[in-house]
Amino acid sequence: AWLQETPLRGLACPPPLRALVVFGSPSEPVLETAAAEWTRAVQAAFGERPVRLQPSLDAYPDAPFVAMGLVPELPLGLRELAAKALEAAVSDDAYAIVSTGGNIAVVAHTPAGLLYGAFHLIRRLRLGQPLHEPCVSSPHNALRMLDHWDNADGTIERGYAGQSLFYRGGQIDFDERRVADYARLLASIGINAIAINNVNVHPIETRFLTEAYLPGIARLADIFRRYGIRLFLSINFASPVDLGDLPTADPLDARVEAWWRAAADRIYRHIPDFGGFLVKADSEFRPGPFTYGRDHKDGANMLARALAPHGGLVIWRAFVYNCLMDWRDRRSDRARAAYDHFVPLDGLFLDNVLIQIKHGPIDFQVREPVSPLFGGLRSTNVMLELQITQEYTGQQRDVCYLAPMWKQVLDFDTHARGEGSTVAEIARGALFGRPHGGMAGVANVGDSPNWTGHSLAQANLYAFGRLAWDPSLDPAEIAREWAQLTYGDEADVVRTVEAILMASWPAYEAYTAPLGVGFMVNPGHHDGPNPEGYEYSKWGTYHYADWRGIGVDRTMATGTGFTGQYHEPVRSLYEHLETCPDELLLFFHHVPYTHALHSGKTVIQHIYDTHFDGVEAVAWMIEAWRRLAGRIDPVRFERVLARLLDQYDRAVEWRDVINTYFYRKCGIPDDRGRLIYP
């Protein structure tokens, strides 16, 4: 992936890189990891292993060296320099690079900070950037987390890159080296937390809390710990019942509370730095407090009390909605659900509870507005949930680089406290002064040799980590950085890969469901076009296309009132046809096919045009990629080419199904006379 270990051709090893001094306790595993990663990277780049010098507070070696050290352990002069560099950094995970004489020092307050600093120096080395340049970097988010939807049987829900890295046949069963490499990849992009099992917790994973499974889980935790990553488990709210211990899982029943305390105590005996629980409750048939007439606060706080003595967190998902809706009832609206459920509970959750909110109000569609719940919760810790795995965005058969979409989400101004109330500031906890916050991404990896099935899908994992660390980064720059780290520094290769990545989300949007309408996919697996796949179902994801028009009226004036969940001026922006952005038009309004967009085109002509354009964009990607033949190793080159060719066929299928669907609905021909099947 992006930690390539090819030699850096034509470069001699710069003198300071020949020696390494580590200041800090040698028994500190993360510190040793930092030193080991740096040593490994230098050796790979120059074929020369840095000499490990013994730290000595008074005697410096004469030759220049790289130092890595925890601030209090540093020799005096360097300590002052380091403390000053880190002065403004608020996070324990911050690092600084300072240079003294010819030496380069990576300094931090914690071993984890040093590890991130070491990876930053490695990145500079591979990108050919100046190693000496002083810098300080502090993560924007305290929690930078991956949610694995892995099942104990080895399958991965919405996984498109093979089987689980952690489980096989109902057992914790893993290749230690592979998992350690995975931990390296994650640490290198700043990830510090991982939930290792699916939010849909089945009977086997329910037993993860028991002595039968905890020793194996602890072995996984041991690997991740060396890379500064804390392990979380998804739990089944009905565990006390399902494991046969109690007749109830009522969160207000003292026996239930005691049961969870005992479970937490047991987990911490095996995993002293266990992160906590991730919970999907009362959502899509998962059990929860509603069964007992209780609410989310009762459920989350009960678990939070069990974890609090150990410093654990409850991450409670806001993905709660009625999945038994009636398509005949046009007044009810799934988009409203998360806000309607959670805003009345604002301020009632304990301090070690976070509410994890999907970026959009529906479900990871290629285009959705930002969930209004971000602006709705003021006295509750929240977390942003993104989907790195491409469930609705091509399933890692199509290239779809999601960083530009995520960036729009992070930059979105909720106006919850006036201008500048961005999702990035809310998710980190800063806007409302919350003690916890962060970002979680649903993982896109499996045991496929290239981790993500499609090589280019690695860019999404990389970008997720980089944005969780620093949401101000530019997605194009991240793409460039990733391309260079992954494919080497030939300018043309880097430019082309960046261009393909940057074109890919717009292309995917263009040839699939139009103008924010979403969900025109096949039911169940969610791949490929099926404009009415969910139209008469109970899932609440409708578009209401008829012979005159399409879209969901979510206005306050005549629709479901969803726009009212936003603060002004966003509310009015979406409420009115005149101001609603084109790309979200059908999410908020039901309009005739002849309605003129701001672009000047009619809705129907926009649909036809974008669907032809989307296919053209894929054709362009194929040509661009082909020009890289011979300049990328043949294995990766051929695999990506094969995927792109497949993507072309898939895009054609989408184009033709969608265009024909709308042509048949409205009978309006394409004004450019292109082939639309009758």
Q: Which residues are tagged catalytic?
A: 284, 363, 391
Q: How far apart are CA 239 and CA 435, in angstroms?
A: 29
Q: How far is the CB of 283 from ligand GCU (least distance, A)?
A: 6
Cβ atoms of residues 274 and 323 within 8 Å: no
* Min dist. Cβ of residue 340 to ligand GCU (A): 18
Question: Judged by CB under 6 A, does residue 199 bind ligand GCU?
Answer: yes
Which long-range contacts does 211-219 make (Cβ < 8 Å, 24+ apart)?
A: 211/266, 213/172, 214/266, 214/267, 214/270, 214/271, 215/270, 216/171, 216/172, 216/173, 217/172, 217/270, 217/271, 218/270, 218/271, 219/172
**What minimum distance in Å lies between the beta carbon of 294 and ligand GCU?**
21
CB atoms within 10 A of CB 264: 22
Q: What gap in Å lies between CA 136 and CA 117, rounded to an integer?
A: 9
Helix (H, G, I), strand (E, B) or coil at 356: strand
CA 657 to chain centre: 31
Query: Of 476, 498, 474, 475, which Cα lies nearest the Cα of 486?
Result: 498
DSSP string for 41-95: HHHHHHS-PPEEEPP-SS---SS--EEEEEGGGS-HHHHHHHHHHTTT--STT-E
* Closest distance to ligand GCU from the beta carbon of 387 (Å): 8
Angle subtended at Cα 170 by Cα 167 and Cα 173, rounded to the nearest 5 degrees: 35
> Does residue number 148 form part of the binding site for ligand GCU (CB under 6 A)?
no
Residue 228 and residue 187 in contact, taking contact as beta carbons nearer than 8 Å: yes
Q: Is 200 in the site for ligand GCU (CB under 6 A)?
A: yes
Within the chain, how many helices (H) and strands (E) appear? 20, 18
Binding letters toward ligand GCU, positions 68-107, x by CB under 6 A: ----------------------------------------
Of the candidates 352, 354, 262, 258, the residue with the CA atom closest to the CA atom of residue 311: 352
Residue 379: closest CA among 412, 361, 355: 355
What is the size of the binding site for ligand GCU (CB under 6 A)? 9
Give the residue from 458, 463, 444 showing the smallest Cα distance to 389. 444
CB atoms within 10 A of CB 567: 16
CB of 286 to ligand GCU, least distance (A): 8
The reply on whether position 363 binds ligand GCU by CB under 6 A is yes
Contacts made by residues 474-480, CB under 8 angstroms, sequence distance 24+: 474/407, 475/401, 475/403, 475/404, 475/406, 475/407, 475/502, 476/502, 478/403, 479/401, 479/403
Residue closer to ligand GCU (CB basis): 1 or 383: 383
Q: Could you give the CA distance from residue 123 to residue 130 in angstroms, rounded to a whole number?
A: 11
For residue 96, give both structure tokens. 């600084």
Helix (H) or strand (E) holding 103: strand 103-108
CB of 364 to ligand GCU, least distance (A): 7
448 contacts: CB under 8 Å, gap ≥ 6? 161, 162
CA terminus-to-terminus distance, the chain: 45
Q: Which strand (E) or helix (H) includes residue 176?
A: helix 176-188
Pairing of strands 95-100, 103-108: antiparallel
Q: Give min distance, CB of 317 to ligand GCU, in A.
A: 7
- Whose Cβ is closer to ligand GCU: residue 93's or residue 391's? 391
What dihedral angle (degrees, nearest 10) is formed by the CA atoms of 662, 664, 670, 675? 110
Cα gap 340→378, rounded to integer Å: 15
Between 166 and 519, CB nearer to ligand GCU: 519
Preceding peptide of 569 cis, ω within 30°:
yes
Window 314 to 343, contacts with ligand GCU (CB under 6 A): 319
Nearest distance from C-beta of residue 558 to ligand GCU, angstroms: 29
Q: Which of 283/560 has CB closer to ligand GCU?
A: 283
Find out whether 518 and 531 touch, Cβ atoms under 8 Å: no
Nearer to ligand GCU, 165 or 279 (CB): 279
Among 153, 157, 253, 470, binds ligand GCU (CB under 6 A): 157
Nearer to ligand GCU by Cβ, of 14 and 528: the residue is 528
**Two structure tokens written together for 648:** 């072309």
Q: Least distance from C-beta 319 to ligand GCU, angstroms?
A: 5
Confirm or reject binding of residue 527 to ligand GCU (CB under 6 A).
Answer: no
Residue 308 Cβ vs ligand GCU, minimum distance, rounded to whole Å: 26
Q: Give the nearer residue to ligand GCU in terms of CB position, either 208 or 319.
A: 319
- Residues in region 279-298 near ligand GCU by CB under 6 A: 280, 284
Smallest distance, ligand GCU to C-beta of residue 350, A: 23
Bridge partners (DSSP) of residue 276 are: 232, 313
Least separation in angstroms between CB 259 and ligand GCU: 25
Residues 367-396 that bind ligand GCU (CB under 6 A): 391
Contacts to ligand GCU from residues 453-482, by CB under 6 A: none
DSSP 607-657: HHHHHHHHHHHHHHHHHHHHTTTTTS-HHHHHHHHHHHHHHHHHHHHHHHH
Q: What is the Cα–Cα distance from 9 to 24, expressed in whole angstroms?
A: 33
Amino acid identity, position 630:
G
Of 198 and 610, which CB lies nearer to ligand GCU in the complex structure? 198
Residue 367 CB, shortest distance to ligand GCU, in Å, is 17
Q: By CB under 6 A, name the binding residues for ligand GCU.
A: 157-158, 199-200, 280, 284, 319, 363, 391
